[in-house]
Amino acid sequence: MPGAPNKPPTIDSPPAAAPPEQGEKRQHALRRLSPDRLVLRLPIWRGPPSLDLVRPLERVAQSITAGEFPDAEKALDQFSVRLAEPRWPTIPEPWVRLRVSIPAPQPPHWNPDNQLSPADRDAKHAREWADTQLRLLRATFELAPSLKVDLADVASCVDEAQSALEQDGPSPAFWAPVDRVWDAVESRVGLPAVAAARPAPPAKLPPGIAPEEA
């Protein structure tokens, strides 16, 4: 019709997914940071841990305080990779699950997870991570007495998390008691002191030259 506007109808686009709240990002980081702090206090270490392990966790704590959560996750990844280096002691279950080694390159079809749909793959990984968290919670309460850390006020959280996981999987009802434990650990367990740097050995002098003449 003459004079009619030649304009396509507007279609409302679906709303964008809301980004995670700051509190959610913090809790996501603490689910790794709190167990990482505890793994450095296991009785497997002969002395204070190396600065190579403590420094990434210091950066994590600083980044969380500053609200820089991508930096916190990056430092957590760095710690996980460093913890997998063969120079460290053998770490027992379930703490060994915090280690992330860098595998050799392999064809994608060698990984059975790649045969799953993205939704099924994400669901599988979420369930595995929830199972790891539950095992870490139990190990935390076994370790706490030797560290003289009182977690009696959150002792019921393990059974709450177990029940929620069995009923609804890794839902918010599962993560709520888990996060209460990690909040308590974060506030009551500090980073351990680092090992003192060893002095460099004295330089070897040629035969016949006394140290005073060097």
User: Is residue 111 a part of any domain in this protein?
Assistant: no
Q: What is the pLDDT along the chain (214 residues), one digit of tens a residue?
A: 555 555 554 545 444 444 457 789 999 999 999 999 999 999 999 888 899 999 999 999 999 999 999 999 999 999 999 999 999 999 999 999 999 877 666 666 666 666 767 787 778 889 999 999 999 999 999 999 999 999 999 999 999 999 999 999 999 999 999 999 999 999 999 888 776 555 555 666 666 666 554 4
Number of domains observed in the structure of the chain = 2
CA angle (160 as vertex; 157, 162 as ends), nearest 5? 110
Same domain membership, residue 84 and residue 28? yes
Same domain membership, residue 81 and residue 41? yes
- Please say which residue of 36, 69, 101 terminates a domain: 101
Within 10 angstroms of residue 17's Cβ, the number of other Cβ atoms is 6
User: Is residue 31 a part of any domain in this protein?
Assistant: yes
Domain range enclosing 29 = 21-101
Q: What is this structure's pTM?
A: 0.77
User: Is residue 213 a part of any domain in this protein?
Assistant: no
